[in-house]
Amino acid sequence: MTGTRVADLTVQLGRTIALTNVTVAFSSGVTAVVGANGSGKSTLLRCMAGLVRPHAGSVHVAGHSLATPDGRRAARAALGYLSQRTDFPGSYTVREALRYGAWLHRVPRAERESTVRDAVERFALTDHQVAELRTLSGGTRQRVYIALASIHRPSVLMLDEPSVGLDLAQRHALREVIHRASQDSTVVVTTHDIDDLVSMADRLVVLAEGVVVFNGTVTELDATGDRSNVERQVRTLMTGAQVA
């Protein structure tokens, strides 16, 4: 079964309508979800992770509907999710954290060590294996967190603002990591960074006040692919206006 999509999704949180009739099908590669603060980006990811129950509409993750317990179980196994608030005890070493992640994601005991070795390699963590998380730079720690979210090789990987707090070089390195992850998984990433869109995203979903105002490729948005043109278009869309 394939297909990661939300259809006619409406989510109310307290008195706020966080998402209204959102319909998006996520294809392979990297989809960036952008929007102003409070536009509903995190809510969309939280809904797809099964952490927020929609008021109306449907969610499918890798073909599994979140409407039934069996579907939710299957979707959870197919999904990797890095929340904006991910934190991990700083006294864990990278290896210990990854071992814990493998257990958490129900990797069979016999496969855990090879799974950890594989993640260390995939995410270029060889030199940091025995370092405690609290001693790592923000960029390396974020790489560990992405390794944790994708240790079970999920078919869908959702990353909520992974580049926040990173410097330019770290953002650049992170894009490489995300690009590599997208070879195994459908990646959905929320970001405020226009460079992320131009250099990393295959597709772009723009939200304004909980409504999808654009869903397409960066080239469809702006054929020149020029950074400042794309930025202007996205900024305009984020205010809820239609791009000419």
Ligand X SMILES: Nc1ncnc2c1ncn2[C@@H]1O[C@H](COP(=O)(O)OP(=O)(O)OP(=O)(O)O)[C@@H](O)[C@H]1O
Among 24, 35, 107, 140, binds ligand X (CB under 6 A): 35
Residue number with CB closer to ligand X (38 or 89): 38
- How many residues are listed for the chain in this entry? 244
14 near ligand X, rule: CB under 6 A: yes
Q: Name the E strands within 52-137.
A: 56-61, 64-65, 79-82
Q: Is 13 in the site for ligand X (CB under 6 A)?
A: yes
Q: Which of residues 133-152 bind ligand X (CB under 6 A)?
A: none
Residue choice 40, 139, 154, 162 for contact with ligand X (CB under 6 A):
40
31 φ/ψ angles, rounded to the nearest 5 degrees: -105, 125
Phi/psi-derived region of residue 31, left when phi > 0, alpha when psi is between -120 and 50, beta in every other case:
beta
Binding flag, residue 38, ligand X (CB under 6 A): yes
**C-beta separation of 61 from 156 below 8 A:** yes
Does position 42 bind ligand X by CB under 6 A?
Answer: yes
Rounded CA gap, 106 and 122, in Å?
19
Partners of 13 in beta bridges: 16
Closest separation between CB of residue 118 and ligand X, Å? 32
Of the two residues 13 and 241, which places its CB atom closer to ligand X in the complex? 13
* 183 contributes a contact to ligand X by CB under 6 A: no
Q: Using CA of residue 180, residue 118, residue 27, residue 232, what is the dihedral sign?
A: negative
Residue 53 burial (CB < 10 Å; 0-12/13-18/19+)?
exposed
Q: Based on CB atoms, which residue is closest to ligand X, 39 or 185? A: 39
Angle subtended by helix axes 138-149 and 109-122, to nearest 10: 140
Among 30, 32, 41, 59, binds ligand X (CB under 6 A): 41
Number of residues interacting with ligand X: please give it, by CB under 6 A: 12
Q: Is 16 in the site for ligand X (CB under 6 A)?
A: yes
239 binds ligand X (CB under 6 A): no
Closest separation in Å from C-beta 35 to ligand X: 5
What one-character DSSP code corresponds to residue 209? T
CB of 9 to ligand X, least distance (A): 12
Residues lying near ligand X in the complex (CB under 6 A) are found at: 13-14, 16, 18, 35, 37-43
